[in-house]
Amino acid sequence: MRLIKTSTIKRRRIRIGDINIAYTIKDSIAPIHTLIFIHGFPFNKNSWTVQLEAMPPDVRAIAVDVRGHGRSTMGHGYFSIDVFAKDLLVFIQKLQLGRVVVCGVSMGGYIALRAFELAPEHFSGLILSDTHSQADDNAAKQKRFDTIQSLLRHGKRVFSINFMENVLAERARRERPEVAELIKQSIRRNELRSICSTLLALASRTDTTASLPDIHVPVLVVRGSDDRITTRAQADLLVERIPQATYTEIPECGHLPNLEDPTRFNAEIVSFLRRID
């Protein structure tokens, strides 16, 4: 499993409002679909490299660094899922991508759902991996606040070790050391201020459950069977409320099936795109 850029994938930057967005693209001369990958917290676009490499020639595949993550700048520094979603919409319009399929994992799914809520005309499909539509309850909010205090007290190293153990299933921790290293590198690359600001954004995000019945494009809901962060009930809620949603579960994977079992994850994406051609 390779986690590095190949010659067919180009690194680019574009100015979006008050920030520079860094992204990677595997372009297509005559794309049937444009597929945008949105990473989870606190990762970056490199977590999608294996997906970009695997996409067919008729798919334009793009992975972006969310504001304040990877090589995208922070701008004003006041983060929210709403701000991230509006960045995505401006990105789509500025690059004149037309209608796109957005694939988001975890926080990336929150961003995708909010962006669809704001401007559904820009989307032809959604892939929602290990994510859900519900806002944090008080206990979840407090957990994020406690994480901020721990980060400020102990730094990113302790946070990265604990975070890796929570997001990866046992098989990935045992058999894919390169995935664990990618997670650690992603966290190290982000500024402490950015990580803390994103935790506040996650704690304050709006609930998009009420808008799920209005999603009238095909949707693929993916979940790792051993995910300890997103529950099966939360995934089921997406499938029940979204009219054209289908569900697939990837065995022996945790919160990041795109990294833990990329072969199966990529096959599910390609199959979904073919169904909505």
Q: What percent of the chain shows pLDDT beyond 70?
A: 97
pLDDT of amino acid 72: 97
pLDDT of amino acid 197: 98
| DSSP 8-state assignment for residue 248 | E
Range of the domain at 115: 10-275
Q: Is residue 96 part of a domain?
A: yes
pLDDT of amino acid 4: 39
Contact 105, 39 (CB under 8 A): yes
CA 82 to chain centre: 15
Give pLDDT tens digits for 45-54.
999 999 999 9
**Which amino acid appears at position 30 of this protein?**
A
Q: What percent of the chain shows pLDDT beyond 90?
A: 90
Q: Is residue 75 part of a domain?
A: yes
Q: Is residue 2 part of a domain?
A: no
Q: Is residue 3 part of a domain?
A: no
This prediction has a pTM of 0.95
Q: Which of 222, 209, 216 is nearest to 128 (CA)?
A: 222
CA 272 to chain centre: 17
Provide the domain count of the chain: 1
pLDDT of amino acid 2: 37
Segment 259-270 mean pLDDT: 97
Asked if the model's pLDDT at residue 44 lies above 90, the reply is yes
Asked if the model's pLDDT at residue 100 lies above 50, the reply is yes
**Could you give the residue ranges of the DSSP H alpha helices within 101-137?**
107-118
Give pLDDT tens digits for 122-156.
999 999 999 999 999 999 999 999 999 999 999 99
CATH of the domain at 168: 3.40.50.1820
Q: Is residue 4 part of a domain?
A: no
C-beta atoms surrounding 41 within 10 Å: 21
Q: Which neighbouring-strand residues pair with 129?
A: 105, 222
Segment 150-169 mean pLDDT: 91
Q: Is residue 44 part of a domain?
A: yes
Q: Is residue 178 part of a domain?
A: yes
Segment 220-242 mean pLDDT: 98
